[in-house]
Structure 1
Amino acid sequence: MTGYEFDGTDLDGGERVYPRYDQTFPVLTPAEIERMRRFGEIRRFADGEMLFETGKIGPGMFVVLSGHVAVTQRDGLGHVTPVVEQGPGQFLAEISQLAGRVALVDGRADGDVECLLIPPERLRALLVAEADLGERIMRALILRRVNLIQGGVGGPVLIGSATSSDAVRLMGFLTRNGWPFHLLDPATDRDAADLVTRFSPGPHDLPLVVASDGTVLRNPREADLARAMGMIGKLDPAKVYDVAIVGSGPAGLSTAVYAASEGLSVAVCDQRAFGGQAGASARIENYLGFPTGISGHALTARAFNQAQKFGADIMIPVEVKSLECGSNDGTFALSLDDGAALRARAIVVASGARYRRPEIANLAAYDGRGVYYWASPIEARLCKDQEVILVGGGNSAGQAAVYLSTHAARVHMVIRGGGLAASMSRYLIERIESTANIELVFNTEVASVDGSPDGGLERVSLRSRLSGDDWTMDVRNLFLFVGADPATGWLHGCGVTLDRAGFVVTGAPAEDDRQRPAQALETSVPGVFAVGDVRSGSVKRVGGAIGEGAQVVAALHGFLADSLQPVK
């Protein structure tokens, strides 16, 4: 399986045809159901009664013992689409029920129904205890989410133009988080036009977003949209986790998977989406075990699902504002953007790095309106059959250039230096050199950008670093992959040592009363560790980040054993 990347189709009559139907909706044997009984309890529902509802917290997984349940997908405009009908021996759930989050579909009893209800924490125990059965269930849960995404009828409804910067922003957020949605353009869709007429949005109010309960949001921030959809679970202020991980890129997800699978209580916070920069990579071909390559989103989606399977609490989107150290009980506190505090006995800094914004006049005015810092399918559609400029010479830039070349008429790849060998893997260099519509422009940088206030980017001026000559290209899309700055601002004030570039220094002697030997991934503050791109001296590769995430768990066990017993 490759994360969330599968396709589905609809028939004219509304009945949906699913790829891998038998894997998506398997029928359990009586013996398998008997093995599952110890994890759940019997529930009965009368004809027409709801087992679960879109936008409300789902109670877990239902195994149908008798009767039938009709599953439908419903959006905020009241459109209802049949999904499937489940009968005896089949089970009702999708991947969100591992974490006890909101249901994305409705389930209604068709006649009297008797079910075995397995709550989320017992469902996770089932997946681990019954390996063969758990594998079949896990595959079905993932495939069901994939089909909901590909169905294109459920989830929040975005009302606006697909080319507007804010629509692109929200679509990117939902896509990166594996959340179903669909967009309606009021210029072509009557329902969307009626909604715009009713709410009379101003020029900065679009897109409108209609949540599953009918609530209409005007051009919301990602966090406000997430709260309206129920993406963010409620934080228990009394709970103290064994470890809190800041960042859900490859390093953070790796730490979460290994720590949670070894019995530690784990919380993960991320400001935007799981996967980090790696999650936006179109294709990774040099990661062990994937000879045909895999997209960054597919790879990190697997890790995201795996972390949930082992019980990690993943909170997205949640911004960590600061780290508070030195409490009397020996715990740390993460101050979150909503005013809450998350407490843990150890911290893993996996907040990674953000692509650098070059100091170019007016550049910020075109963010999301022609200037992009990643290349997802959403951005690729915007530059179909157009010429684009891509700046950068690292692996991320190379992967993006190859991917965009399959959509754009031509990709002008601008590199400050005189070659690629020092910064890019050889296989990518060969791929780029053999792609006819990628043009390499060496010893060059962006001098300026220009466009219209309403229409977005229109022109980019380039400058030769050898001659100083400038020239202008008429392009509407500029992709920037020009190095990264560490996301460490939230660490200021806690005593964590940073290097001159702002990356976290690890391996320094621990200055505590036990005089423990220095841990390779521990910072200057005992109990605070750093992994992945945010760590000074780390190898800036997906494989290196995942390896450090696994390695730090041994250090966590040592620290926790040396202080207090893990929280249960």
Structure 2
Amino acid sequence: MAKATILTVDDDPGVSRAIARDLRRHYGDRFRVLRATSGDEALEALREVRLRGEAVAVMIADYRMPTMNGVQFLEAAMDLFPRARRVLLTAYADTGAAIDAINFVDLDHYLLKPWSPPEENLYPVLDTLVDIWDAASDPEAPETRLVGHRWSAPSFAVREFLARNLVPYRWIAADEPEGAQLLEAAGLTAADVPLVITTEGKVLHSPTETELAAQVGLRTSPAADFYDVVVIGAGPAGLGAAVYAASEGLRTVLVERSATGGQAGQSSRIENYLGFPDGVTGAQLTDRARRQATRFGAEILSATEVVALEAAGSGRVLRFADGTSIGAHTVVLATGVTYRHLAGAQLDGFCGAGVFYGSAAFEAASCRGDDVYIVGGANSAGQAAVYFSRFAETVHVLLRGPDLAHSMSAYLIQQIEDVPNIEIHPCTEVASGAGEGHLERLTLRDNRTGALTDVDATWLFVFIGAEPQTQWLDGLIARDDRGFVLTGPDLPEAGGRSPRWPLTRAPYHLETSVPGVFAAGDVRAESVKRVASAVGEGAMAVTLVHRYLEAQ
């Protein structure tokens, strides 16, 4: 097995050679030590390491580097090797920046220059970080290979599943020589994509999410038949509930139909979340929360769909799509919401082939030099616009209303105003789309005059409000006319005996019409649709779970 890597990057050649020398002296028998003289050079080295399917244990970056400083490098490197330990090398005058970086890039430590003698100032710190990395329960695995076509919706679905579940993979286009060779070896043609080849060499042709999850190391089956609490949905509310429940000793399982993070996990940058003054990506926040939940002992089931909830005496039974079931004392519904589809625009045939609901951030590089169209005026649309502006020629934001002020945070509006290649189109809707095999054109309508305009477009990202996926709760859980779950004082006839609430006591604040079943986050009627409030409701639900269990 190839050695894992320790990477150091410093633009000062003397410092770069010195730290690499000290690292090889102490760690050369166990690790491969790489050094780079710029952030770009270091990122290229990391990409090569990843392509070889090897691991990175520690990354050490100097703070003061031109073009890309150490914090910026470590932030970019996190996407390649999220579990590598991160160290910032600083001068005494930069310790304030190092402390700020603890939140920005989840920094593990910072070292002051000079570090001599290394036996006192370097090795003890790195020994601890190496031990933490070495003892991690989920070390980085070699990459899965995915052969697909750029405009293939099934290929996009597999890419999205792997990316959102933080599974390392390498995308190989079917029309490239390597892609063609792999397809031929599997007895397939370019029309048969997607093809997935796992790290063990197993070949999967057009796998379902459940099949894919089982083959890439994600857990899909529970370890037990009964739990104290089952959390359904792994967005911010569900992850918050799982962290708090498991940390307080409750036997906890978190069940997710698709990928952890929910809508927040797709965000390119969340900048108004407490404790992250420079913002955090949805993927980074999700990864930290997921690792935190598992560290406390919560189980996380991926690609597992709950299709029914039943009350069985004092217990609650959850039935899965594969026919299996588990029981629990309590349940937390945190299934969130999904983006609504554009009605009447004839775009359903282009889903995953130019039309995307939510932010497919991994497609950003493919948008380089193209025009990108974004529909929506809330924060999620604004965050996507700012992110895609780094790659696209022009980002066109289409608004039904006259301006952004009604639904977008002020800080985000200011950011958009400062980006020259973002254009806002007020009172504009998508009337229709067209193309051969993928989106190629859009027809836009001015909703003030009715005038139609045709534009060339191959990328359309839609953020037009949300709807809960709660149909499976019909007949058991009370919901409002839009499908959101009613809780606590919003329940009809709360506090009395009725078909909606069976007990004489009043329901707890987040309790649904079934005692012991709670709702948190966006799926709950009248909830505040923000990451911070969702996490807070997840934590609050666990407090109410304790109260419910103590009363039984």
TM band (smaller chain): 0.7 to 0.9
State the Cα distance separating 1:360 from its structure 2 match.
2.5
What secondary structure does 1:231 align onto? Answer: coil
Equivalent position SS for 1:345: strand
- Give the RMSD, CA atoms, in angstroms: 3.2
Between the aligned partners of 1:138 and 1:430, the Cα distance in structure 2 is 44
Match of 1:336 among 291, 313, 320: 320
Aligned to 1:290: 276
From the superposition, tell whether residues 383 and 228 of structure 1 become closer, same or farther in structure 2 (CA, over 3 Å). Answer: same
Matching residue of 1:218: 205
Alignment-derived partner of residue 167 in structure 1? 155
List aligned pairs for 1:104-119, cutoff 5 A.
Answer: none
Shift of 1:182: 1.4
Contact 1:388 1:475 in 2 (8 A): yes
Contact kept? 2:220, 2:303, Cα under 8 Å: no
Deviation at 1:20, TM superposition (A): 7.1
Residue 544 (str. 1) matches residue 528 (str. 2): no
The number of aligned residues is 445
CA contact (8 A) 2:145 2:169 kept: yes
The one-character-per-residue Cα deviations of 1:145-204 (angstroms, maximum 9, x if unpaired) are 78x47xxxx2322123355333332122111111112123343344x4333223332565
List per-residue Cα deviations over 1:509-550 (Å, max 9, x = no partner): 355775223211111111111000000000000011011111
CA distance in structure 2 between the partners assigned to 1:141 and 1:286 by the alignment: 34
The aligned counterpart of 2:448 is: 466
Residue 419 of structure 1 deviates from its aligned partner by 1.5
- SS of 2:435's equivalent in the other structure is strand
**Correspondence 1:442 to 2:431:** no
Please report how far the alpha carbon of residue 343 of structure 1 lies from its aligned counterpart in structure 2 after TM superposition: 1.1
1:363 corresponds to 2:352: no
The reply on whether 1:275 has 2:261 as its aligned counterpart is: yes
1:193 aligns with 2:183: no
Residue 374 (str. 1) matches residue 358 (str. 2): yes
Q: Does 2:232 align with 1:240?
A: no
The equivalent of 1:499 in structure 2 is 480
Contact 1:252 1:549 in 2 (8 A): yes
User: For residues 461 and 138 of structure 1, what CA distance do their matches in structure 2 show?
Assistant: 57
Please state if 1:140 is matched with 2:133: yes
- Between the aligned partners of 2:56 and 2:523, the Cα distance in structure 1 is 45
Give the aligned residue type for 1:489.
Answer: Q
> CA offsets per residue over residues 450-479 of structure 1, 9 Å max, x none?
111x3x000011111110111111010111
> Which whole-Å CA distance do the structure 1 matches of 2:514 and 2:403 have between them?
41
Amino acid at match of 1:140: W
User: Does residue 231 in structure 1 map to residue 218 in structure 2?
Assistant: yes
Give a deviation string over 1:326-383, Cα, whole Å, max 9, x none: x13x211111111110211111110000000121343110000000112233221221
Q: CA shift at 1:317, angstroms?
A: 1.3
SS in 1 for 2:431: strand
Change in 2 beyond 3 A, CA 1:351/1:141: farther
Amino acid at match of 2:386: V
Q: Which segments of 5 or more consecutive residues in structure 1 lack a partner in the other structure?
A: 1-13, 27-66, 71-78, 86-103, 105-131, 564-568
Task: Render the CA deviation track for 1:487-524: whole Å, top value 9, x for unaligned.
Answer: 21221132x11011110111133557752232111111
Identity %: 41
Question: 1:401-550 counterparts in 2 under 5 A?
Answer: 401-452=385-436, 454=437, 456-494=438-476, 496-507=477-488, 508=491, 509=494, 511=497, 515-550=504-539
Question: For 2:543 and 2:406, how far apart are their aligned partners in 1?
Answer: 34
Give unpaired runs (5+ residues) of structure 2: 10-18, 24-28, 33-50, 58-82, 84-124
In the alignment, structure 1 residue 184 sits paired with structure 2 residue 184: no
* Distance in 1 (alpha carbons) for counterparts of 2:126 and 2:484: 44
Looking at structure 2, the residues matched to 220 and 273 of structure 1 have their Cα atoms a distance apart, in angstroms, of: 16
Please, which moves more after superposition, 400-409 or 177-186? Answer: 177-186
Higher relative contact order (CA 8 A, sep 6+): 1
Alignment CA distance shift 1:447-1:349 (3 Å) = same
C-alpha contact (below 8 Å) 1:375/1:404 kept by paired residues: no
Is the Cα contact below 8 Å between 2:370 and 2:393 reproduced in 1? yes
After TM superposition, give the deviation of residue 431 of structure 1 in Å: 0.7
The structure that is helix-richer by fraction is 2
Paired with 1:386 and 1:16, the residues of 2 have a C-alpha distance of: 38
- Distance, in Å, in 2 between the alignment partners of 1:521 and 1:245 is 14
* Change beyond 3 A, Cα 1:81–1:530: closer
TM-score normalised by length of structure 2: 0.74
Equivalent pair of 2:345/2:430 in contact (CA under 8 Å): no
Q: Give the letter for the 1:379 counterpart.
A: E
Equivalents in 1 of 2:399, 2:319: separation in Å?
40
Q: Do the aligned partners of residues 286 and 425 (structure 1) sit closer, same or farther apart at CA in structure 2, a change above 3 Å counting?
A: same
Q: Which residue matches 2:95? A: none
Deviations 1:63-120 (A, max 9, x none): xxxx9899xxxxxxxx9766589xxxxxxxxxxxxxxxxxx9xxxxxxxxxxxxxxxx
Retained in 1: the 8 A contact 2:243–2:289? yes
Which residue type is aligned with residue 370 of structure 1?
A: G
Distance 1:161 1:315 in 2: 29
Q: Whole-Å Cα distance in 2 between the matches of residues 557 and 312 of structure 1? A: 16
Match for residue 555 of structure 1 among 541, 544, 549? 544
CA contact (8 A) 2:4 2:55 kept: yes
Q: 2:188 is paired with a residue of what secondary structure?
A: coil
Contact 2:220 2:304 in 1 (8 A): no
Counterparts of 1:513 and 1:209, CA distance in 2 = 50
Distance 1:335 1:343 in 2: 9
Tell me if structure 1 keeps the 8 A contact 2:180–2:190: no
Question: Are 2:5 and 2:31, in contact at CA under 8 Å, matched by a contact in 1?
Answer: no
Map of 1:96 onto structure 2: none
CA distance in 2, matches of 1:490, 1:165: 26
The alignment partner of 1:18 has SS state of strand
Q: Residues 82, 413 of structure 1: CA spacing in aligned structure 2 closer, same or farther, 3 A cutoff? A: closer
Instruction: Give the distance between the partners of 2:128 and 2:510, measured in 1 at CA.
Output: 33
Deviation at residue 300 of structure 1 after TM alignment: 1.6
Q: Mark the CA change 1:84 to 1:429 in structure 2 (over 3 Å): closer, same or farther.
A: closer
Describe the superposition over 1:250-292 as per-residue Cα deviations: whole angstroms up to 9, x where unpaired.
0000000011101111111111110000000000111111111
- 1:204 touches 1:219 (CA, 8 Å); kept in 2? no
Hey, what does 1:123 align to over in structure 2?
A: none
Match for residue 92 of structure 1?
Answer: none
Q: 3-state SS of the aligned residue for 1:346?
A: strand
Query: Cα offset for 1:562?
Result: 1.2
C-alpha contact 1:162 1:183 (8 A) present in aligned 2: no
Q: Say if 1:464 and 1:134 are closer, same or farther in 2 by CA, change over 3 A.
A: farther
Q: Give the 3 Å change call, closer, same or farther, for CA 142–391 of structure 1 in structure 2.
A: farther
Change (3 A) 1:144 1:342: closer
